Amino acid sequence: MTQVLSLRDVQFRRSHGFALRVPSLDLSAGEMALLSGGSGSGKSTLLWLIAGLLRADGGSIEVAGQRLDAMRESDRDRVRARSIGLVFQTHHLLPDFTAEENVALALMAAGEPERTHMPRARELLASLGIDRPGARASDLSVGQQQRVAVARAIACRPALVLADEPTASLDTDSAHAAMEVIQKACRDAGAALLCASHDPAMQARFPRVIDVRGFATVEVPA
């Protein structure tokens, strides 16, 4: 299978003593993996490094065949827009924009032809059960907002979707329903999924579970 993510000897250190080292991590096209570990174990930091939102102090990070760690910031932004979908616990939708406009913005950032923006946004929103694509994001329920965020993440048919604690604020039933939406959307889009969650119940939903403590070193001074 095509490899969409490859990390080698990735190192990151904060000034207050937090350190993270990942000797290796690979993810193939369509693969779904869960990053597990308690609060402060480095799960979110690792996702931000992969997304190019943080710069590693050493090692290599390759996404869809491109070395993000060796790129200028503007080039990383371009690769992120086209090859990486992001789903967060907080959806970061523009509240005064409609659902379809929020999704269309991702297509615009990726440089997709303008004529495709709204048709693609409406198609994705409909597939995720959003029947009011013209409603403002602020007028949608939390669950609907999450579906809009998922549609935005997969709008550009990314090779990789990164989900950072996407169900942390939900009860158990809602969390599993939301995770089903995310996983189905990734399967339909053919995207690999790397999800971070501290919820042990999520482990049963993933064929591969990666304990951050198994390959990372976190140093926090007493």
Q: How far apart are CA 164 and CA 142, in angstroms?
A: 17
pLDDT band at 212 (very low <50, low <70, confident <90, very high): confident
Domain around 75? 3-94+157-215
Q: Which residue has the higher pLDDT, 163 or 178?
A: 163
**Does residue 18 fall inside a structural domain?**
yes
Q: What is the dihedral of CA 61, 66, 70, 75, to 10 degrees?
A: -120
Looking at the domain assignment, is residue 145 inside a domain?
no
Residue 7 lies in a domain: yes
43 part of a folded domain: yes
Q: What is the CA radius of gyration of the chain?
A: 17
- Kindly report the average pLDDT of the chain as a whole number: 89
Answer yes or no: is 24 within a domain: yes
Domains contained in the chain, number: 1
At residue 217 the predicted structure's pLDDT band, cuts being 50, 70 and 90, is low
- 24: domain CATH number is 3.40.50.300
100 found inside a domain:
no
For residue range 66-91, list pLDDT tens digits in order: 999 889 999 999 999 999 999 987 77
The dihedral built from the CA positions of residue 139, 142, 144 and 145, taken in this order, carries a sign that is positive
Please determine, for residue 221, whether its predicted confidence score (pLDDT) is greater than 50.
no
Q: Does the residue 60 lie in any domain?
A: yes
